[in-house]
Amino acid sequence: MKILTINPFRKGSKAWLFCEVCGLDYKTGHSEIVRIEALTKYKLNTTNGGDWCRSDGPLGKYFNIERIKEKGKIVGVQLVGYKKNTFSSSIKKEIIDFYKKLPCRILDITGEYIEIDHKDGRKDDFGPIEVQKKEDFQPLHKSVNDAKRQHCIDCKRTNIRFDAKRLGYSASQWIGPLNYNGSCIGCFWCDPAEFNAQISYRYKKTK
């Protein structure tokens, strides 16, 4: 997965213009939903096939694209994370050594049952082993990792991401839609620590 820092498209092109107006978060690859009114205003209204926002077009080279339709017509466009690379099942030794003595991100316990988990449950976001980064992984207790694995299997089967409201949270995901559209970022299981940080960001204790 290549994370961008600047708009990669030719200035003046429709892909470039969309990235300028969609509120793109370059860290996550997610944008706001741009509705038909704004698309028309910026001359980005599309054909039914999507034209500039097709998955096999320039924009789709970098991003997963959600095309929102009503009665077969595109009425909104959103970017939902970066496209992914080929997965490597091996993990760098230095990453294993870094995490194996740290506590589980959910249970806050250490010990022999700590496993090094790929945050991305689809296991296709890390590329060759030589480019792996510590932030792509997390320590989870085996029982937690088993639970995550089952929820990821369900997500693959249904294309519906885990709904954190089932655990009592006020939001289903901290970013992105409930439907899986190519990115695990925002899902509770992808990064429980980040999820809790984002959900509780504006929390104020009242009692």
pLDDT in tens, 154-204: 999 999 999 999 999 999 999 999 999 889 999 999 999 999 999 998 777
The pTM of the full predicted model, rounded to 2 decimals, is 0.69
The secondary element (H helix, E strand) that includes residue 64 is: strand 63-70
Angle at 156 between CA 121 and CA 74, to 5 degrees: 110
pLDDT greater than 80 at residue 75: yes
pLDDT greater than 80 at residue 206: no
Q: What is the DSSP string of 3-31?
A: PPSS--SPTTSHHHHHHHHTT-BTTTTB-
Nearest partner of 113 among 104, 126, 125, judged by Cα: 104
pLDDT in tens, 18-52: 999 999 999 999 999 999 999 999 999 877 667 89
Secondary structure (H, E, C), 157-193:
HHCECCCHHHHCCCCCCCCCCCECCCCCCCCCCCCHH
